[in-house]
Amino acid sequence: MEGLMMQYPLTLTMILEHGYRIHPTKQIVSILPDKRRHQYTFADLYKRSKRLAHALRHQLGLGKGDMVGTYAWNHHQHLEMYFGIPASGAICHTINIRLSATQTEFIVNHAEDKYIFIDATLVPQFEKIRSALTTVRGFIVLNAPEDFTTTLHNWQHYEELLSRASEDADWSLIEEDDPCAMCYTSGTTGQPKGVLYSHRSTVLHAMSVCMPNHANVSFHDTMLIIVPQFHVMAWGFPFAGIMAGARIVFPSMHMQPESLIRIILAENVNKAAAVPTIWLGVYAALKSGGIKSIPLKELIVGGAAVPPNLIENFQQEFNITVVHSWGMTETSPVVTMGRLQPEHASLSDEQKITLRARQGQPLFGTEIRIMKEDHTPAPWDGITPGEVQVRGAWVIESYYQVKSRDNFTEDGWFRTGDVATMDPQGYMQITDRTKDLIKSGGEWISSVALELSIMTHPKVREASVIAIPDDKWLERPLACVVLKDPEEIISHQELTEFLTPHFAKFQIPDQLRILLEIPKTSVGKFDKKEMRRLYAEGKL
């Protein structure tokens, strides 16, 4: 016997329809690449997404399962693609604009993109690889000036495409298990791999993100979407925002700390999501600009470990709560979020910061287990580390057209490659990536713990710790730092004294390198593979 309730498909069009019916006058603001402020409503988004779906079907001849690439900044047009492309039955393949030309060429050909929607400012990057693209029939250019020209083949203006389209696109044929979007991993350990999201997984993820214990998104919020729309669908926040009726603000290419602060002040933004590097920059700019208060109330921060002093500084000086989150491209991405509970009220300030610096608890809809090297589950004791394995309603089942099952266990869990401990209340703490682990004389050293600690030193802006080969211990940690003020050098001796109260002697890095910049991946994370390569070539 089955339950006697309706089968109501969980599709992205349902989110769009809901936003249109219930919050039609809610605003979406974009600060466009040419700095113009654009504003329209959920009703406008709905109508233009319908036009886009219609244009894809009837002008470009696309249908179910066709891949359509986007190569764009964060703005309302990119949001129209998030909805309009899947609404036509096609798949919205967001391409990371920071990948190398070789990687971009690889993923466009691998995905077999039929058309690319591209911001005019990014066209030169694509002109370089156009002759190597085997499946792209043409380009739709966004935000182009009137006198715009390009060597890209078969191109047209986005607004012209929409102006020829009708608003009565039929999206009744979309089913919840259909693919809606694809995002490639950043490919730090080989070629990028495609993660193909379904309508259902994306809707469930967005619903969970909205919940009060999670990102707590509601119609009271004005959200600034800083996480690039080309990176894991901007962490699903645009979908969550439309679903909940939040006012949404996009900064397009204006991601420098001063620009973000200007936007936050002008648009009265109370919630924003981005990686720690962005918030380190914003904090420094607030201080140097002498700005004492800002409308922000909550930051959702993930993608890399958040330094505890950042959490503390925002709380104490600006009354802004940092909510630490963890996830991956393969997990849509959000799996954990860290908020304090009523029983934590009696903790000391220091204990509260320590707990909030953990990556948080699994969201409803996901499960985490920590597996030891002997393939048995680690206890949730906050001490025993193991590999993080995940399953859930928005977790990858297999990569797009990749046969290898290396990242999946036989009993159906996704192997994340991250190493963590879990405390008795289910707060996870990431200690490393399996491939970045440092094993010195048979003992593990957490590079993340060292980095977070070094970044609390007043002279240090950024720190990254890598394993380097060692004759006696096999591996030893090497610390690389970027200084806040290049004149104020930190010595190895000074660093050692600073770390000594917090680490065992064998864990303290034997060497220190002062760099002008730490190599970063295409999504802004420390690129440890590149650092190890530079070290091996004597260039670090």
Of residues 314 through 373, those in contact with ligand AMP by CB under 6 A are 324-329, 333, 359
Of residues 217 through 276, those in contact with ligand AMP by CB under 6 A are 232
Q: Residues with Cβ < 8 Å from 313, sequence gap 6 or more?
A: 283
> Residue 13 or 186: which CB sits closer to ligand AMP?
186
276 sits in which H/E element? helix 276-288
When binding is defined by CB under 6 A, the residue of 103, 332, 366, 416 that contacts ligand AMP is 416
When binding is defined by CB under 6 A, the residue of 84, 303, 308, 392 that contacts ligand AMP is 303
- Between CA 1 and CA 111 the distance in angstroms is 41
Query: By CB under 6 A, which span of 48-56, 289-297, 301-309, 529-537 interacts with ligand AMP?
Result: 301-309
Shortest separation between residue 337's beta carbon and ligand AMP, angstroms: 10
Reduce the DSSP state of residue 94 to 3 states and report it.
strand
Task: Fill in the per-residue mask, 187 to 226: x = in contact with ligand AMP (CB under 6 A), - = not in contact.
Answer: ----------------------------------------
Query: By CB under 6 A, which span of 48-56, 68-76, 296-304, 368-376 interacts with ligand AMP?
Result: 296-304
Q: Residues with Cβ < 8 Å from 357, sequence gap 6 or more?
A: 305, 306, 307, 308, 311, 324, 338, 429, 452
Of residues 418 through 457, those in contact with ligand AMP by CB under 6 A are 418, 430, 433
Kindly state whether residue 304 participates in binding ligand AMP, applying the rule CB under 6 A.
Answer: yes
Read off the amino acid at residue 284.
Answer: A
Shortest separation between residue 432's beta carbon and ligand AMP, angstroms: 8
> Residue 246 or 396: which CB sits closer to ligand AMP?
396
Of residues 483 through 522, those in contact with ligand AMP by CB under 6 A are none
Shortest separation between residue 435's beta carbon and ligand AMP, angstroms: 10
Query: Which residues are marked as active site?
Result: 185, 330, 439, 444
Shortest separation between residue 533's beta carbon and ligand AMP, angstroms: 19
∠ at Cα 20 (18, 24), nearest 5°?
130
What the block records as the tokens of 537 is: 């070539």
Query: By CB under 6 A, which span of 105-113, 218-226, 297-305, 526-534 interacts with ligand AMP?
Result: 297-305
Shortest separation between residue 383's beta carbon and ligand AMP, angstroms: 18
Other CB atoms within a 10 A radius of the CB of residue 471 amount to: 6
What the block records as the tokens of 510 is: 């034997």
> Residue 23 or 324: which CB sits closer to ligand AMP?
324
> Residue 93 or 433: which CB sits closer to ligand AMP?
433
> Residue 178 or 418: which CB sits closer to ligand AMP?
418
Query: By CB under 6 A, which span of 199-207, 218-226, 300-308, 480-488 interacts with ligand AMP?
Result: 300-308
∠ at Cα 250 (246, 254), nearest 5°?
150
> Residue 169 or 275: which CB sits closer to ligand AMP?
275
- At residue 235, φ and ψ (nearest 5 deg) are 60, 25
Are 481 and 512 contacting, i.e. CB atoms less than 8 angstroms apart?
A: yes
Shortest separation between residue 420's beta carbon and ligand AMP, angstroms: 9
Rounded to a whole number of angstroms, the distance between the first and last alpha carbons of the chain is 66
- Between CA 418 and CA 438 the distance in angstroms is 13
Q: Residues with Cβ < 8 Å from 249, sequence gap 6 or more?
A: 28, 29, 30, 31, 222, 223, 224, 225, 263, 267, 269
> Residue 184 or 535: which CB sits closer to ligand AMP?
184
Strands 194-198 and 138-142: unpaired
∠ at Cα 53 (51, 58), nearest 5°?
90
Query: By CB under 6 A, which span of 21-29, 39-47, 159-167, 303-311 interacts with ligand AMP?
Result: 303-311
When binding is defined by CB under 6 A, the residue of 144, 305, 466, 479 that contacts ligand AMP is 305
The CB-nearest residue to ligand AMP is 329
Q: Residues with Cβ < 8 Å from 390, sequence gap 6 or more?
A: 331, 335, 366, 367, 368, 413, 414, 416
Residues that bind ligand AMP (CB under 6 A): 185-186, 232, 302-305, 324-329, 333, 359, 416, 418, 430, 433, 523
